[in-house]
Amino acid sequence: MGGRPLDDDAQLIESARGGDIGAFEQLVERYQHIAIRVAHLICGADDAADVTQEAFVKAWQALPRFRSKAPFRPWLLSIVANEARNTRRAAGRRARLALRATEDRLPVDAAPSIEEAALGAAQSRSVLAAVDTLSQKHRDVISCRFLAGLSEAETAAALGCRPGTVKSRLSRALAALRSHLDAPGTNAFDARAIHG
């Protein structure tokens, strides 16, 4: 879905702000797959479609507050991530997010995760099982950065934090992941491979 000029988004956003639902529907079509993927990683497959739909409704309602010339995708993904986190909290469960991301069916045209491309199936399962042992904040940053393939800025927007926080949180998450994977009784594996 990437590669479209930002000024094309800006034209659609301005039209949508003027009440053009068709322009907003084009934005929905453009970003729905990445939005569903982010929701899926944060709250699980069962709620991802509903969360994404609710996030698009909230984005439509919030368009008057959208900063002109700001990138739309990170702004939208922050709404999706907030809605997904709210859904996860409301359900009162700690979902097995990273493992579900590879076991549940993603949209047909969703790009394969970096793990799937870099690791064999056995190593991938080991890494994803290890990711599942991390704190929620660490799982979220790894899920956004590596499973959904978001940029650092998009991850920061989706998680509601600064890019520097993404860097430090990611560094701690990868260190914890390395420590878990290097522990006796696990399949030793260099976690740096997931972002090499």
- Domain 6-91 shares a fold with domain 97-195: no
| Cα end-to-end span (Å), the chain | 23
What is the predicted pLDDT for the residue at 28? Answer: 94
- Summarize the confidence of residues 42-63 as an average pLDDT: 92
Domain 97-195 in CATH 1.10.10.10: yes
Question: pTM, whole model, 2 decimals?
Answer: 0.63
On the question of pLDDT at 128 being above 80, the answer is no
pLDDT score, position 3 = 47
Domain boundaries, the chain: 6-91, 97-195
| 132-182 per-position pLDDT tens digit | 788 889 888 988 888 788 888 888 888 888 989 999 999 998 888 888 877
- CATH code assigned to 6-91: 1.10.1740.10
